[in-house]
């Protein structure tokens, strides 16, 4: 053995002796294990709620998500935004399947096609996911509750009454909607037409020239209205119950130099100039931020077992108030956020800074 190895062996032996002494000391000092050890607290798992929008590029949907996210932050939950880049049920189905696979706690969805979405929403419910619809509902058996921005009857009748007042109750008019599969749009159009049918004397000089389907996309909506005012220059007003469509219609009318007016449902932030210059005398909408906020509160209440979506229950929606679960027209249940606001030249400047 070399003379260099001896010091190493001595050091190693000393180290082992120290470790052995330390082990004995630790054993001697360690308290006896209790008969039943207290379980260590399990860290809380963050709840995750997803908003599945009609399409992620839609400014209205983006503002709705801002309210959804605001509520989630206040509730200690994580907010996720999901949806296709175009208005399609197929894109929403793919998003929901991925959310289910990733163990999402709740889904709030604005449906592109309630029937096409039914199978995947049934899968979500079977997996324990709490499903809420908002803006555009799903079938009652595919959700626990729907968040209704405002009464469909009120929306449809108010829009038709506004068009009558703006035109002096005479002239041709057109309706620009999104798709025939969007349940909210279909209901609003239905109530517009019922308003006419039930009050024939008030609308006898008004004629519907066309119902246009712009797919809730700017370019198709713009092209449809451009063609409309060229083929039917007598059109006095276009009613567009879509925030994308109303802007596209206003742009198309302005670019064509037509005298046609426009009204409907729009965002003050995009329609303010048209309201001020009179092309859109006034329009309506609710606050999409509030709709998203209430949807997140409902999702959280369902996950926490505070409500089940049964008619007669009440939802505490933070500073948005206490809201009641009521029967919906399709046989399910819903929570109505409030009535639509009217935006005109007297107030649009205030609201366009908000949404």
DSSP string, 305-328: TS--S-TT-EEE-GGG-EEEEEE-
Quick one: pLDDT at residue 45? Answer: 67
**Ranges of the chain with pLDDT below 70:** 1-45
d(CA 124, CA 104): 9
Q: Nearest-5° angle of CA 212, CA 214, CA 220? A: 115
What pLDDT does residue 315 have? 98
Model pTM score: 0.84
**Do 254 and 194 touch, CB atoms closer than 8 A?**
no
Which residues does residue 336 pair with via DSSP β-bridges, in sequence order?
Answer: 148
pLDDT at 131: 98
Domains and CATH numbers, the chain: 48-149+288-338 (3.40.50.2300), 152-285 (3.40.50.2300)
pLDDT value of residue 108: 98
Q: Mapping DSSP to helix (H, G, I), strand (E, B) and coil, where does residue 137 land?
A: coil
Specify the pLDDT at position 78.
98
Are 161 and 123 in contact by the 8 Å Cβ rule? The answer is no
Q: What is the pLDDT of residue 46?
A: 87
DSSP string, 79-131: EEEE--SSS-HHHHHHHHHHHHHTT-SEEEE--S-HHHHHHHHHHHHHTT-EE
* CA angle in degrees (0–180, nearest 5) for 225-288-68: 135
């Amino acid at each position: 053995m070399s003379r260099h190895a001896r010091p190493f062996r001595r050091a190693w032996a000393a180290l082992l002796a120290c470790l052995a002494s330390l082990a004995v000391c630790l054993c001697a000092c360690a308290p006896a294990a209790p008969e039943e050890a207290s379980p260590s607290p399990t860290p809380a798992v963050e709840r995750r709620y997803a908003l599945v929008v009609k399409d992620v590029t839609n400014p209205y949907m983006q503002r709705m998500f801002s309210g959804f996210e605001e509520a989630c932050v206040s509730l200690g939950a994580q907010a996720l935004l999901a949806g296709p880049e175009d208005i399609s049920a197929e894109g929403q189905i793919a998003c929901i399947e991925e959310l289910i696979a990733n163990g999402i706690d709740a889904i709030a969805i604005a449906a592109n096609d309630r029937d096409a979405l039914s199978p995947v929403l049934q899968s979500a419910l079977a997996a324990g996911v709490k499903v809420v619809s908002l803006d555009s509902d799903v079938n009652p058996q595919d959700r626990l509750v729907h968040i209704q921005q405002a009464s469909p009857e009120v929306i449809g009748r108010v829009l038709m009454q506004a068009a009558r007042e703006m035109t002096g109750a005479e002239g041709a008019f057109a309706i620009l909607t999104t798709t025939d599969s969007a349940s909210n749009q279909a209901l609003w159009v239905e109530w517009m037409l019922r308003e006419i049918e039930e009050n024939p004397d008030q609308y006898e000089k008004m004629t519907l020239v066309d119902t246009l389907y712009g797919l809730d996309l700017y370019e198709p909506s713009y092209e449809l209205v451009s063609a409309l005012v060229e083929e039917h220059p007598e059109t006095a007003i276009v009613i567009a119950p879509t925030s994308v469509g109303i802007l596209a219609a206003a742009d198309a009318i302005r670019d064509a130099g037509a005298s046609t007016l426009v009204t409907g449902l729009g965002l003050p932030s995009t329609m303010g100039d048209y309201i001020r210059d009179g092309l859109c005398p006034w329009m309506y909408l609710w606050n999409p931020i509030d709709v998203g906020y209430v949807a997140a509160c409902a999702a959280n209440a369902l996950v926490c077992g505070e409500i089940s979506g049964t008619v007669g229950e009440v939802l505490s929606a933070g500073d948005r108030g206490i809201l009641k679960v009521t029967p919906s027209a399709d046989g399910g249940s819903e929570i109505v956020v409030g009535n639509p606001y009217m935006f005109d030249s007297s107030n649009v400047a205030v609201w366009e800074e908000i949404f």
